[in-house]
Amino acid sequence: MRSVWLIVLPVLALAVTACGATSVPAPTAPPQPAPSVPRIASTPLPVSTPPPASVSTPSAASSPAPASSAPTAASSAPAAAPVLQPGMRGPAVAQLQQRLAVLRYYPGPADGRFGTDTLEAVWAFQEVQGLPVEDAVSSAMQRALADPRLPAVLVPGGGSLRVEINLAVGVLVLYRGNQVALISHVSYGGGYYFCVPGGGCGYAVTPTGNFTTTAFMPGWVTVPLGQMYNPVFFIGTAFAIHGDTYVPVQPVSHGCVRIPMDIAAFFHTLVPTPGTPVYVRR
């Protein structure tokens, strides 16, 4: 770890820049092969399904019905599981929220309302499971909820308490006691070229490598490139894991790791600072 700091700290001597020092080559480490991915033994998420539509059948004595009223192949097929989407409410949404929470995603309170917090947890689950990331819970995702797989372990010997950030997948995983304690969707460096007001220019890249948490600043922190909520820094005071009101599926940050606001509200309480290992891999 000392060799990493010898490289990084001299070039990050500037004050908080909100991930502005992205033109500096970051320390990297070759990704370690992940072990076989285990699955979580669990019961399926119960989701109520509507009964199949009834189809009237003409009797032998009745006259032939018009062609437009004849049963079709679609009407005789089994009813598909309902798709859950943002804005929906009800027991099925509450069951989804409860299931995601058991799996260590954070969908917010199990209040039966499909809001932003639940959607961001859905994205994280889809990313880990290798499903298309979309604003809905499809039947494929419902099947995966019944037999999910754990996130790929990036650094098996990285410590019982650690943070792993998988840029290739777009998720952050917090381990406590070598057990998954939290899985969060993230957005990271977007790769675009930008300039720091009154400073230099560079590319929006999230550095990969082995780091440790260095500092925590509570509340909204204003920096030259904008604001960060409850930032937990892992490279000086330049790169942080922080809350933001905009954490899309696409990488859009200047180089920091954005997490949803609801998770940023408590994330710092789970990660001792300074000293918690942070592993970033692509």
**What pLDDT sits at residue 17?**
53
- The C-alpha atoms of residue 259 and residue 253 are separated, in whole angstroms, by 11
Q: Is 194 exposed, middle or buried (0-12, 13-18, 19+ CB in 10 A)?
A: middle
Domain 2-32+154-281 identical in fold to domain 82-146: no
* CA-CA-CA-CA torsion sign (164, 18, 219, 8): positive
How confident is the model at residue 198, as a pLDDT? 83
Angle at 109 between CA 276 and CA 44, to 5 degrees: 95
Q: pLDDT tens digits, the chain, 282 residues: what are they? A: 433 333 333 333 333 455 633 333 333 343 344 333 334 433 333 333 333 333 333 333 334 444 444 444 444 444 556 699 999 999 999 999 999 999 999 999 999 999 999 999 999 999 999 999 999 999 999 999 999 999 999 999 999 999 999 999 999 999 999 999 999 999 999 999 999 888 899 999 999 999 999 999 999 999 988 999 999 999 999 999 999 999 999 999 999 999 999 999 999 999 999 999 999 999
> Is residue 9 helix, strand or coil?
helix
pLDDT given for residue 116 in this prediction: 97
On whether the pTM is more than 0.85, the answer is: no
Quick one: pLDDT at residue 281? 98
CATH architecture assignment, domain 2-32+154-281: Beta Barrel (2.40)
- Give me the residue spans of the domains in the chain: 2-32+154-281, 82-146
Could you tell me which residues come within 8 angstroms of residue 145 by beta carbon, excluding any fewer than 6 positions away? 44, 45, 96, 99, 100, 103, 125
Q: Are 249 and 134 in contact (CB under 8 A)?
A: no
Class of the CATH-defined domain 82-146: mainly alpha
135 in Cβ contact with 86 (< 8 Å)? yes
Residue 19: its pLDDT value, please?
Answer: 65
Contact 168, 152 (CB under 8 A): no
List 195's β-bridge partners, or say none.
201
